[in-house]
Structure 1
Amino acid sequence: MTTSRRQLTSQGLFAALSRPAEQPPAPAPPRRPRRRDEENFTAKVISTAQWHGWKVTHFRPSRTASGRWATAVQGDIGSPDLLLARHGDVILAELKTDDGRLRPEQRDWLTHLGPIAVVWRPRDWDAVLARLAKGPTTR
């Protein structure tokens, strides 16, 4: 007895539909999108600083042809993310996620910069806001 292709297809479809549905694989635990979190925090710091009258510069990384993220730099790598200035007051801020770590070259920069350099994280928002809202320092 021969079975036509049409019969096999319909029989296979019927068999597939009559089987109990397979359970989908369990979803992977959610991961924090670190780059996104830092981008959002950066945008929040920049807009708040500008609202308080600070001039702000941020050098954004871009994706290279090979798919890597890189920031065009001439000189020493690891400089802070933001340069903020207002009436002679200067802040160089390295922005990190709450669980982000400083790289050795970033630590080196912070050491060389001294008290004008800060590391800000989302959990420090009250202190960030207080610093940005503070009036100009007298020199």
Structure 2
Amino acid sequence: MPPMSERKLQSAVLKLAGFHGYEVRYHTKDSRGSQAGFPDLVLASKKRGKLLFRELKSDSGRLRPEQKVVLEVLAACGQDVGVWRPADLLSGRIVAELRAAPTDYLK
């Protein structure tokens, strides 16, 4: 099977997010208009009380330094951040994270 592109991964993730009740599924179509390093996806679910920031990468893709900084800052602010790859789709990790209860960062 050929490697899955980030574009195909994004399409699959957006469909899964909608299926799991994420009403807001912002995705960067053209990153030239966005702040350098901002994550590819922002997923929000009122029903689940969750907000997820996710960067999508191919299985061999690497985070750029500015992407690492933005994810670190968001995490320091108590946000749920991460990197998803095609292997995470196949392993079930993406669905598990979409379905998980929100993390209580205030404890």
Judge same fold: TM > 0.5, yes or no: yes
CA RMSD between the two structures = 2.1
- Structure 1 residue 59: Cα displacement: 1.6
SS at 1:90 equivalent:
strand
Equivalent residues in 2 for 1:1-139 (5 A)?
37-54=5-22, 55-61=24-30, 70-73=31-34, 76-87=35-46, 88-114=49-75, 115-125=79-89, 126-135=92-101, 137=102
SS at 1:71 equivalent:
helix
Q: Supply the AA of the counterpart residue of 1:129.
A: V
- Structure 1 residue 44: Cα displacement: 0.2
Q: TM-score, normalised by structure 2?
A: 0.79
Unaligned runs of 5+ in 1: 1-30, 62-69
**Considering only CA atoms, is the larger Rg found in Structure 1 or Structure 2?**
1
SS at 1:100 equivalent:
coil
SS at 1:132 equivalent:
helix
What percentage of residue pairs aligned between the two structures are identical? Answer: 36
SS at 2:33 equivalent:
coil
SS at 1:102 equivalent:
coil
Unaligned runs of 5+ in 2: none
Q: TM-score, normalised by structure 1?
A: 0.62
C-alpha change, 1:98 and 1:86, in structure 2 (3 Å) is: same
- Spell out, residue by residue over 1:65-109, the C-alpha distance to the aligned partner (whole angstroms, 9 max, x if none): xxxxx5312xx3110000001123110000000000100000000
- Structure 1 residue 124: Cα displacement: 1.2
Q: Supply the AA of the counterpart residue of 1:109.
A: V
SS at 1:92 equivalent:
strand
C-alpha change, 1:78 and 1:51, in structure 2 (3 Å) is: same
Which of structures 1 and 2 has the larger relative contact order (alpha carbons within 8 angstroms, sep 6+)? 2
